[in-house]
Amino acid sequence: MEGMQEVQFSPEAEKLAIKLAAFAIMEQLCDDGKITEDELKYIAKKREIDILVRKSA
């Protein structure tokens, strides 16, 4: 892509992005009924991810 600059992210930002993307997949699994809300909360707590508001499906 001509004219676009390369963007550099810190290793910490990349790790956080991966962690949040994986958690988004877990949220979708919860919405699909594959895991429970309690399991999702456990994962969030274990991975130190704050769930401020969760909209139920």
pLDDT (tens digit per residue) in 1-57: 678 899 999 999 999 999 999 999 999 999 999 999 999 999 999 988 887 656 655
CA distance 31 to 7: 33
Q: Is the pTM of this model over 0.75?
A: no
| C-alpha 38 chain-centroid distance | 16
C-alpha distances (whole Å) from 14 to each of 8, 9, 11 are 10, 7, 5
Surface-to-core class of residue 30, CB atoms within 10 Å of its CB (0-12 exposed, 13-18 middle, 19+ buried): buried
